[in-house]
Structure 1
């Protein structure tokens, strides 16, 4: 009986060691997955006209030298006084669970939130789901970790606090890069 117990304990220890060495493939250590290239980008501006809709795709064109810009607001803090906010809605080729979103901005003071939408045309912010809390951005590339496991085909980069560019109350987004959950 004692020999059976010892052999059982040894077998369990060996099995656990093998699992730890191999990993389960779904651990957080598996790292970010592949880059997901959006099919399109549109301006989401509930309660107001869209800010520069003709420039929206510049934030996903792979060229950090180009950018989408919000309008220039006279009020230094237009959100939520003037309107709720504004953002870019990205349509993905297929439903995806995100691991991170990188937002490249030249602006200072901008805050964004990553959200998901069930449709490519949500009518209000309440038609979207929060994936991350508000995140303060610094000029340059900002990588935002997405811990929420919601699968989505529509990702909203929502500007909850406008920044400044050249002393003007506005935000520019040079590039947005999305990464899927790691394998």
Structure 2
């Protein structure tokens, strides 16, 4: 983690970025094994670039209805850790009721951490509260009681710190190398 509170995408030698999406599910087993073998030969920086490229491509065409029509792009939500003492300069103006309703009505909400996408269930009361406030409190409790809750895993990177949510465009995700300092 850097001093700005962003979690870097870069992986240590023993951390492995996963193949994006369901790439292997659509391949015959022999082809899937070849892809796995190829993936393991890539350095982490190249895996990172491929994962980001895959995410951008999926987001830019996810809602396309036909080749010549308008289509909706999903909203990406970024996060940053706040100082342990409350950030008095943050008035919450980036977060509003319309954005909260959009996120709740689009259940494909996902947490991207280290280039890996974790899907977040927006029907969980604790997640809804966090989205409504635009803030994940340091004492967040998973209302479903999942030990592998990706929100709790995120908070474990800086115990005692709240996480501020903000809107992030796909272009910003690439521009900031998977992180955004605010």
- TM-score in terms of structure 1 length: 0.25
CA radius of gyration, larger in: 1
- TM-score in terms of structure 2 length: 0.25
| Structure with more helix by fraction | 2
| Structure with more strand by fraction | 1
